[in-house]
């Protein structure tokens, strides 16, 4: 965003965590809160404020979708969650993180 390589990023977080590494909206808000109150390094506060601004401005969109906790692989997305498939199809780049990605 800051380098203007893109104008919007959508982060899909889990509705509920399957693994300890899965993040929820609550986890993401906790991260922002911790960054904003960090006293060990002011750079963390700057990052927290910037990220909150991205969210307020609609440059970062934080969403969840039940598909990511259903027992289907990504090849089933179009059939199981056509609205999610359509939204993700509009993206120019998709980056997947995870232990359950097939």
| pLDDT tens profile 6-60 | 999 999 999 998 888 889 999 999 999 999 998 788 999 999 999 999 999 999 9
**pLDDT tens, position by position, 59-84:** 999 999 999 999 998 999 999 999 99
CB-CB contact of 39 with 49 (8 Å): no
Residue 17 corresponds to which tokens in the numbers above? 């965590």
Which parts of the chain fold into alpha helices (H)?
Answer: 25-36, 42-56, 77-80, 82-89
Query: How is residue 57 annotated by DSSP?
Result: T
Letter string b/e over residues 66-90, b meaning 16 or more CB atoms within 10 A of that residue's CB? ebbeeeeeeeebeeebeebeeebee
């Amino acid at each position: 965003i800051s380098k203007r390589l893109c104008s919007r990023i959508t982060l899909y977080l889990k509705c509920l965590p399957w693994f300890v590494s899965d993040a929820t909206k609550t986890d993401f808000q906790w991260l922002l809160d911790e960054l904003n109150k960090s006293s060990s390094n002011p750079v963390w506060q700057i990052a927290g404020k910037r990220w909150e601004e991205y969210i307020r401005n609609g440059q970062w969109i934080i969403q969840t979708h039940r598909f990511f906790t259903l027992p289907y692989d990504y090849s089933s997305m179009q059939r199981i969650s056509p609205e999610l498939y359509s939204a993700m199809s509009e993206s120019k780049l998709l980056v997947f993180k995870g232990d359950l990605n097939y």
